[in-house]
Amino acid sequence: MRAVADRGACCGYGVCFEICPEVFKLDEAGIVYLDDDIVPAALVDRAREAAEACPQLALTLEPITH
């Protein structure tokens, strides 16, 4: 899976980081960013939970298509 973050929609609640800090990072302003958009298989469930918990709907997970 691939994580997608809409930084413009992020309001810095940090819920994603609390649930899955391995995938979702926060910059100095508290806005989400990704070090790597590829979500390791072992983290897909937590990353999905984090994306679904975002109050601003700024995060999505999508399948990787080749």
For position 66, what pLDDT does the model report?
A: 74
For position 56, what pLDDT does the model report?
A: 96
For position 65, what pLDDT does the model report?
A: 86
User: Cα-flanking dihedrals φ and ψ of residue 25, to 5°?
Assistant: -110, 160
What amino acid occupies position 41?
Answer: A
For 1, 2, 51, 56, the CA distances from 13, given in Å and listed in that order, are 23, 22, 12, 9
* CATH code assigned at 34: 3.30.70.20
| Tens digit of pLDDT at every position of the chain (66 positions) | 999 999 999 999 999 999 999 999 999 999 999 999 999 999 999 999 999 999 999 999 999 987
What amino acid occupies position 11?
Answer: C
- 3-class secondary-structure state, position 31: coil
For position 17, what pLDDT does the model report?
A: 98
Q: Which domain holds residue 53?
A: 2-62
pTM of the model: 0.93
Q: How far is the C-alpha of 34 from the C-alpha of 13, rounded, in Å?
A: 16
Number of domains present in the structure of the chain: 1
